[in-house]
């Protein structure tokens, strides 16, 4: 039981690191896409700018939600094992 708990904690740490790196990468990409969208908006290309900006924000939100879901599942499993 102790070994299983330790493995889950190690997996939780591994996924937390991956989730953090993914969230940072998605945030950086979203920032870049949003800048591109703002550039398109400033050059009077409104439809392309709007689509680009919304796409960047939506992809960032999706990656962050996936990372949070994985962390929540591991937290739930960890809680079950320690109760």
pLDDT confidence band for 4 (50 / 70 / 90):
confident
- Say if residue 82's pLDDT is above 70: yes
Taking each helix axis from N to C terminus, what angle separates 46-82 and 2-42, rounded to the nearest 10 degrees?
170
CB distance 52 to 81 below 8 Å: no
CB distance 55 to 33 below 8 Å: yes
pLDDT tens across 23-73, in order?
778 778 877 877 787 787 788 877 777 777 777 777 777 777 877 777 787
Tokens for 53?
């900006």
The model's pTM is 0.57
């Amino acid at each position: 039981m102790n070994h299983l708990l330790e493995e889950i904690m190690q997996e939780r740490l591994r996924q937390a690191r991956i989730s953090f790196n993914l969230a940072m990468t998605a945030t950086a990409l979203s920032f870049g896409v949003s800048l591109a969208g703002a550039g398109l908006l400033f050059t009077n290309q409104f439809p392309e700018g709007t689509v680009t900006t919304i796409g960047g924000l939506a992809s960032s939100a999706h990656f962050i939600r996936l990372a949070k879901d994985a962390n929540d599942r591991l937290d739930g499993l960890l809680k079950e094992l320690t109760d």
